[in-house]
Structure 1
Amino acid sequence: MINAEAINKMSKTVRLILGDQLNSNHSWFKTTDDSVTYVMMEIRSETDYAKHHIQKVVGFFAAMQAFYFDLKAKKHQLIYMYLNDEDNLQSFDRNIKSLISKHKFTHFEYQLPDEFRVDEVLKELCKSSEISSSVIDSEHFFTSRNELEHFFEGKKTFVMENFYRMLRKKHDVLMEGDQPLTGKWNYDSENRKKLPKNHKPTPPLVFSNDVSKVLEQINTTDIKTIGNIDAVNFVWPINRAQSLQLLDFFLAECLHLFGSFQDAMTPNEWSLYHSRLSFSMNLKMISPQEVIDKAMKEWESRPNEIEYNQLEGFVRQIIGWREYMRGIYWLKMPEYSSMNFFNNQEKLPDWFWTGNTKMNCLKDAINQSLNFAYAHHIQRLMITGNFALLAGIDPDEIDAWYLGIYIDAIEWVEITNTRGMSQFADGGIVGTKPYVSSAAYIDKMSHYCGSCFYKKELKTGGKSCPFNSLYWNFYDKNEGKLAKNPRIGMMYNVWRKMKPEAKVALLEQADYYLKKINEL
């Protein structure tokens, strides 16, 4: 008879750790076991599915390597496949099959991936493998993949606010019994302030990580990337300790004004009061639970300095939008990735890759993205996304740009925000209306317009702000699909009451700008 200890010695398990599964608190790592070998891999199938920002590729690899050395120091058995290793077959399935053959592993395990395409690869690998396999939760999110689907079962619409309130109750976040603290669920209406003209935001905490060796390795390949990088002063956190340091900085220096100015924009200020924790959270170096717990403790310790609306706005982004977007992703993929409600077909303007445009708002947002691989949510939604939707850009083009240019962009969170919230390509699954605006909104929330080549107040003419004519052109072009939307009926009332000659002038101006889009 073989006892349990003998079976354990006979068993050889290989466990795959993906590049966005750097969770040192996962139950996998609570004990060390010589019969278990962990494998991590830098592979071309991950660098090449989109044209990524160089900081994104370097950031992932640097964080993965740091995690590998951390696990190694804790005496776990590991195999790390560097990008240029001769035996690296450059895909998860081929590498795992090769390792099983080489090391005679008898069991394969992995954590649930966050991306549909990786999930499919690993499920197919398990089907075709001759050894047993199992999958475990990543132990990161507040919700399971299918929790949103079950919550909205039988419903025609998926209202984020309802999901958010359910999660607040379920996880006892900012609750008093079954009621919200303060008696109010949502303080979004108080979180839309423009930055005062002479207000100087807190300088952001940045790191000086030397990632030159990682960059050198990438530069020996033909991997296509975008953007800029300072390899000896890499500003992003690449391990858990730095991620916690960034969290502590945000709580101490930024939380007290986060809510008020979360939608504000101003030139040459790339961070403002935002946490910039999305990269760390999306790689699972820190968890949403600990982020929220620490934020609540900070608020409790400084009640006279941090107003409740600042905290609630931050909590809503994490337990609300982040979990909601993931739920929509797993409910609607893979169909979601090809939705195109407006049937938009245009190409992205060339200056989306260079920032060389005369429009101040787009110049600032794009150059910031190229320099830091980052822009905050209103820059993404109401500057770059707004313009792309008004210009009729193909959602596939927008997806590829957003997925590539931002360091925190992993498909589960990128595509639902881009194709859904930003481009309304899903026809209203995520957003109740298209998020478009003229220059008036941009001027209301930013300091871009005052020194721009184009004039915010002009609707037509050579110096008129392109957002103005494109805005009305968008509504005119899509009236058949939007006129009955109750949230935008007012805009059609305004449009219908305009004088015919004013309408013609706006549409002609929009047509001119669209034909000259690469010169704007």
Structure 2
Amino acid sequence: MAAPLLIPILGDQLTPGIASLRNADPASSILLMMEVADETTYVRHHKAKIAFILSAMRHHADRLRALGWTVDYVKLDQPENSGSFTGEVARAVARHRPSAIHVTEGGEWRVRAMLEEWEGRFGIPVTIHEDDRFLCSHAEFDAWAAARQQLRMEFFYRDMRRRTGLLLTEEGEPEGGQWNFDAENRKPPPRRDLLMPQPLRFRPDPITQDVLALVAARFSDHIGSLDHFHFAVTHEDAQRQQDHFLDQALPRFGDYQDAMLTDEPFLWHSVLSPYINAGLLDPLSLCRAVEGRYRAGRVPLNAAEGFIRQVIGWREYVRGVYWHEGPGYGRRNALDAKRDLPGFYWTGKTDMHCMARAVGQTIDHAYAHHIQRLMITGNFALLAGIAPVQVHVWYLEVYADAYEWVEMPNTIGMALFADGGLLGSKPYAAGGAYINRMSDYCGRCRYDVKQRLGEDACPFNALYWDFLARNERKLARNPRLAMPYRNWNRMSVEDRAALRKQAARFLDGLGTG
């Protein structure tokens, strides 16, 4: 028998048509799937995140077997498990004596480095296939970036629309006469609606139950709860959640995508990003389904465009930035922020109701929507001057959809402005008024959002002005901050001193985790 081809399948490559499989012969190939300790602990991932990925991997292995592939599957608790990708490939090479290794590139710099070492280490040819589940290749993004002084997502997004034809007229113009309907997608939350759609909840089957028991025993000291585990772990169930979102939630997604409600962690959001990022759903097919709903008159244009922009615009864009900027991007700290991350990021125990809710639902569900991440937990870290690398690690740990390629640019660039403005044209800093406008949080908080000074004043208010003051040398020339700085400079010396003293007193009282 001829030596087989060995094809490792990583935990975020749960796609039957992944590039490394496309031209392989099931009769002469062995697929290697590995649950390894290194990937569960290089940061202390949320329990539900680990359980989701491991269960989805085990179900995907069964699907591949049903499609005719031979799958060599290594479980996390097997005594001989080496604990690393390279160690498990070494053991598989010894077992199967393959003629070559084919693998789809890893999604992170550290994984790419591992794969590039394999040929020299094992002495057999290793082919690394580019991950073409993304619309924009590394070379294409680099070429786009090289032609521009600023890497603004809006122009990249328009190129992606032209490439895919999504929401274009027959003449190649954007539907509705404009590319972006974001101005229509900032409505404050409505009164709580008893008919508000909820994502589907999937009952754990025996495979998932085994994984939940393993995670509970092995990762008991990691953040998060398994009590609310609800994720789809198969392609079929992920597709069911996609169809449910398109039918039930997409029509109002646009209007309320920035809204926040205390007792509604999901609102009209899709909760599909974990499935897209793990490979259970195809992003372009999803976007075409969204476009189809618009063309059939079932959803408004602002909803369809807003969702498509998040997927083929922002998602592709941050992935391009991650690979274009290199592994040092995560160490950037343009605002010289050095404070330690407060302990309530792990417990949710704080009198700030907005933070308690955003962190609390993260602990329960390994999920928070993009405005909660950007304008609550991210905004607080920005205003308080938390060290970017600590915030980056926290986001990577706690969300089921977080992989470094997507999480790092969102944290370093978008939330913290630590890249000095590469991603965003301004810091996304806001006081309590924004949170009050876009949520019901402030009405249920022990702090008063309308006060800037005193024991009952909302901490975000003084922190906002303190942030502007301490970063004035670096930010005052930013044209998008001209009005806030004019307002700051109009204040009396006494008022400015009082606000900074208020902020310092609050920050001095923060505990760390």
Q: Normalising by structure 2, report the TM-score.
A: 0.96
Change (3 A) 1:198 1:81: closer
- Is the aligned partner of 1:229 residue 2:226? yes
Q: What does 1:2-401 align with in structure 2 at a 5 Å threshold?
A: 10-26=2-18, 28=21, 32-176=25-169, 177-200=171-194, 201-210=196-205, 211-221=208-218, 224-230=221-227, 234-301=229-296, 303=297, 305-401=298-394
CA offset digits 1:448-486 (Å, max 9, x no partner): 001210000000000000000000000000001001111
Contact 2:199–2:271 (CA<8 Å) still a contact in 1?
no
Unmatched tracts of structure 1, length 5 or more: 1-8
Contact 1:22–1:284 (CA<8 Å) still a contact in 2?
yes
Q: Counterparts of 2:448 and 2:254 in 1: how far apart (Å)?
A: 30
Q: Counterparts of 1:101 and 1:68 in 2: how far apart (Å)?
A: 21
Which amino acid is 1:284 matched to?
A: G
CA offset digits 1:331-385 (Å, max 9, x no partner): 0121101101111111111111111111110011000000000000000000000
Q: Secondary structure at the match of 1:79?
A: strand
- Between 175-184 and 379-388, report the one with greater CA deviation: 175-184
Q: Counterparts of 1:75 and 1:469 in 2: how far apart (Å)?
A: 62
Contact 1:146–1:331 (CA<8 Å) still a contact in 2?
no
Contact 1:342–1:425 (CA<8 Å) still a contact in 2?
yes
Q: Counterparts of 2:467 and 2:323 in 1: how far apart (Å)?
A: 30
Q: Counterparts of 2:268 and 2:423 in 1: how far apart (Å)?
A: 26
Q: Counterparts of 1:145 and 1:60 in 2: how far apart (Å)?
A: 26
Q: Counterparts of 1:30 and 1:223 in 2: how far apart (Å)?
A: 42
- Is the aligned partner of 1:505 residue 2:495? no
Q: Counterparts of 1:388 and 1:425 in 2: how far apart (Å)?
A: 11
Q: How high is the sequence identity, in percent, across the aligned residues?
A: 38
Counterpart in the other structure of 1:452: 445
Q: Counterparts of 2:105 and 2:439 in 1: how far apart (Å)?
A: 40
Residue 222 of structure 1, CA deviation: 5.8
Q: What does 1:414-493 align with in structure 2 at a 5 Å threshold?
A: 414-493=407-486
Q: Normalising by structure 1, report the TM-score.
A: 0.95
CA offset digits 1:250-309 (Å, max 9, x no partner): 0000110001000000101011000011000000111111101111112222x1x42111
Which amino acid is 1:78 matched to?
A: V
Change (3 A) 1:264 1:83: same
Contact 2:199–2:270 (CA<8 Å) still a contact in 1?
no
- Between 170-179 and 16-25, report the one with greater CA deviation: 170-179
- Between 260-269 and 510-519, report the one with greater CA deviation: 510-519
Change (3 A) 1:198 1:285: closer
Runs of 4+ in 1 over 2 A off after TM superposition: 29-34, 126-129, 197-201, 215-224
Q: Counterparts of 1:205 and 1:267 in 2: how far apart (Å)?
A: 20
CA RMSD in angstroms comes to: 1.5
Which amino acid is 1:192 matched to?
A: R
Q: Secondary structure at the match of 2:231?
A: coil
Residue 204 of structure 1, CA deviation: 2.7
Contact 1:48–1:223 (CA<8 Å) still a contact in 2?
no
- Between 121-130 and 372-381, report the one with greater CA deviation: 121-130
Which amino acid is 2:176 matched to?
A: T
Q: Secondary structure at the match of 1:134?
A: strand
Report the count of equivalent residues: 507
Contact 2:347–2:359 (CA<8 Å) still a contact in 1?
yes
Counterpart in the other structure of 1:6: none
Counterpart in the other structure of 1:5: none
Q: Counterparts of 1:180 and 1:222 in 2: how far apart (Å)?
A: 49
CA offset digits 1:173-192 (Å, max 9, x no partner): 11123311221110001100
